[in-house]
A and B are shown apart, each in its own frame.
Chain A
């Protein structure tokens, strides 16, 4: 069966510091991968998606970036965090073993920028 991992689970960072959140998927190959953010009281906003290694599409202009160095690894980064980057970050996958229409989410990372 497929599993998706995210770490860390929680993170408190000062404004201006860098960020690296990691997501890995097990039990599938060639998944589509996605990064979402849920801000307080808001819905899920798609930030980035990837259909293959090195292929990243950005949905929302911001100071975040994403990379996919391996087939089942997706990384969300920032060089300098802003207060507005606080939120709940979710990684998701879709594809082989499921359906490309159905996305399966990881446990999330709670990021607080102070």
Chain B
């Protein structure tokens, strides 16, 4: 049972345009959401997060939007750059308890074309 779903395995965008990566979740106990970027043969790098008490969080070119009623979040990258080409993972956690386990989606490969 996949609790975090990234339904698009890949996305191709032109340099300078907006990249929109989507993520859906099913567990209503999730209250914290994160996006990670991963290059091949490297560990994921934390990009941006959002708590369920917010619906938007912005950091430079990266903005995450959360729609709790739809159980949907998205990552917007504006403007997209070739160096943004990587696999992007959506992750979710419920902060109850002491483990703060993350549940990851399967990732979306973003390719930004020059």
A92 to B107: give the CA distance in the assembly, Å.
18
Q: Is the CB of B89 within 8 A of A49?
A: no
Interface hits, B71-110 → A, CB 8 Å: 89, 91, 93, 95, 98-107
Does A62 have its Cβ within 8 Å of any Cβ on chain B?
no
User: Which of B36, B45, B100, B103 interacts with A101 by CB under 8 Å?
Assistant: B100
Residue positions of A touching B, CB distance < 8 A? 6, 32, 34, 42-46, 49, 51, 57, 59, 88, 90, 92, 94, 100-108, 110
Q: Is the CB of B45 within 8 A of A57?
A: no
Q: Can you name the residue of chain B whose Cβ is closest to the Cβ of A45?
A: B104
Q: Is the CB of A105 within 8 A of B44?
A: yes
- B residues near A51, Cβ cutoff 8 Å: 98-99
Given A43-B105, A43-B107, A101-B93, A108 contacting B43 (CB threshold 8 A): yes
Q: Is the CB of A108 within 8 A of B41?
A: yes
Show 6 A/B contacts (Cβ-Cβ < 8 Å), sorted by A: A32-B99, A43-B104, A46-B103, A101-B32, A103-B34, A105-B43
Q: Can you name the residue of chain B whose Cβ is closest to the Cβ of A10?
A: B41
Does B49 have its Cβ within 8 Å of any Cβ on chain A?
yes
A103 to B34: give the CA distance in the assembly, Å.
9
- B residues near A88, Cβ cutoff 8 Å: 41
Q: How far is the CB of A42 from chain B (nearest CB, A)?
A: 7
Q: Is the CB of B42 within 8 A of A107?
A: yes
Q: Is the CB of B101 within 8 A of A49?
A: yes
- B residues near A90, Cβ cutoff 8 Å: 43-44
A51 to B102: give the CA distance in the assembly, Å.
14
A16 to B7: give the CA distance in the assembly, Å.
37
